[in-house]
Structure 1
Amino acid sequence: MADQTFSSVLNTVSVVSQFVTLLYIAFGILFAHLYRKRVSTEDYWVLVWLIYDFFIHLTLEGPFVILSLLGTVQESNHFTAQLWKEYAKADARWGVSDPTVVSLEILTVTIVEVFVVFTVNGIVQNKPYRHFMQICLCVCELYGGWMTFCPEWLTGSPNLNTSNPLYLWVYLVFYNGLWVVIPCYLLYQSWLAMSHAFSETGEVMSEKQETTVTTNVYRTYNTRSKNRSEKME
């Protein structure tokens, strides 16, 4: 297939879909702003991402799962199918209810959504389970990305269309790359937080042990001194 220009494949659906993703980012910013004074700057942007993540899974991938379980995206006339018909131009599997893709999306719109909700609540309420949920969320999303593309790469990528910058760099690389780069960063954030927490716990335990040893030595010394005094009397 000859290379196409970006403008030659740009259409109403692609423009509207980009606008919708920007709208979800705006939702994330508005939500995070509600808790601006309660969270750090870093967690402020984590909340923006999580709300964006939540809406993408719920309103875009949720309908994809339903359409794929009832038939295929390509056969559907539902308005939500238009987005996936557009994306299927870059990855044909999304138009034909590929079992691997649909299985991963079922996981995404159920279990992953629960992890998103708990992670958001953990951040805004400063819950102790926050980083555990965040790690579960990130591992699931990285696993989903790997299992979406690794089988395709191993078979020579027969379903991927990289003939156009829109399909390659926007649909395949940018949007899928977000769910690799950001989860990896959040895993690193959780690792730092847990390492710091364990370090502080270790320091507290060491201080308690030192206090206990000092107290025991002091008690032993006093007992021995008392015994000596009694013998002298």
Structure 2
Amino acid sequence: MFDFLKKATPSLPETVADLEAVHPFYPVGVEIANFIANDMTVGRLLGIFATGCAGILAATWFLTSKVAPQLQKKDKLAVLWFCLSGTIHLFFEGYFSYNHTRMGGAQDLFGQLWKEYAMSDSRYLTSDPFVLCMETVTAVLWGPLSFLMIYYIITMHPLRYPLQAVVSLGQIYGDVLYYATSMFDHYHKSLTYCRPEAYYFWFYFFFMNFIWIVIPGILLKDSFSTTAKAFKALDRLSVSLQGNGAATKPKANGHIKRA
């Protein structure tokens, strides 16, 4: 009786294997616009990314040692972090924010890197509102401010620790929300954006993002500690000056008379 409907309806994949043949991302059946599979191997992509990061760190260490040899080791390490972090925020995450509507078919280096990472979080291929807004804020704010932090550290600028606290707290806040929204969808809505292989969850999703909680957490603690010590020293100096003022009083001839 309804044969004409069957003929008019295009055939659809019926099994998980059929759906994964369309694309490899989860949840099964999620729509990825204009998807094209990567033509670079995972090993090559990760190798290029690791080599790029190593090159940035090596060049930054060399230039910092030449420009500011007086910096302590911990300050040089902070410069390394903010240079690498700023580069990833501004260029890599900025790439996603600008190209989010065409990520499924992107075949340039950054596009293929994002598609590989999306094995652990397919929201990067669906213009998910939270991920898009979070990454845009990260690229626009924390990227440029990370490079400003390098200048502040090298010049020992008085705003170094306040800005370090702001950038670090922003990175931690974005990362916590990133984890939280994914976990909320997983447990409350039964939506899983990560493939079932443990590698994608523990290495891509957890470890590679957890770095932006651990290191900013250390820098945030350093900012709080240094700021507290500075105010403590200022309070002691203020009390000392007030005490000296109370212990002296001027004479009529202009000389100071000790009490």
TM-score bracket for this pair, using the shorter chain length:
0.7 to 0.9
CA contact (8 A) 2:86 2:145 kept: no
CA contact (8 A) 1:32 1:45 kept: no
- Return the letter of the residue paired with 1:62: G
Partner Cα separation in structure 2 for residue 47 and residue 54 of structure 1: 10
Partner Cα separation in structure 2 for residue 183 and residue 146 of structure 1: 12
Partner Cα separation in structure 2 for residue 59 and residue 36 of structure 1: 26
Q: Which sections of structure 1, spanning at least 5 residues, go unmatched?
A: 2-8, 220-233
From 164, 169, 174, the equivalent of 2:198 is: 164
From 165, 181, 189, the equivalent of 2:222 is: 189
Which one is further off, 23-32 or 114-123?
23-32
Q: Which sections of structure 2, spanning at least 5 residues, go unmatched?
A: 1-15, 17-40, 252-259
Please name the residue that 1:87 is paired with. 117
CA contact (8 A) 2:90 2:144 kept: no
Asked if 1:62 is matched to 2:94, the reply is yes
Query: Which of structure 1's runs of 4+ aligned residues deviate more than 6 A?
Result: none
Partner Cα separation in structure 1 for residue 62 and residue 168 of structure 2: 23
Partner Cα separation in structure 2 for residue 138 and residue 162 of structure 1: 31
Q: Deviations over 1:108-162 (max 9, x none)?
A: 1111123212211111111111111111101111111012121111121611235
From 92, 112, 120, the equivalent of 2:150 is: 120
1:50 deviates by: 0.7
Asked if 1:72 is matched to 2:102, the reply is yes
Partner Cα separation in structure 2 for residue 66 and residue 78 of structure 1: 14
Q: Deviations over 1:6-55 (max 9, x none)?
A: xxx94322332232222232233223323452211110100011111111
Matches within 5 A, 1:1-233: 10-68=42-100, 71-156=101-186, 158-165=192-199, 167-216=200-249
Q: Deviations over 1:67-108 (max 9, x none)?
A: 11xx13113233321110110011111122211111111111
TM-score under structure 1 length normalisation: 0.82
Change beyond 3 A, Cα 1:12–1:146: same
Note the aligned Cα RMSD (angstroms). 2.2
| Number of residue pairs matched by the alignment | 209
Change beyond 3 A, Cα 1:208–1:188: same
Q: Which has the higher helix share?
A: 1
Partner Cα separation in structure 2 for residue 62 and residue 11 of structure 1: 24
Identity between Structure 1 and Structure 2 (%): 22
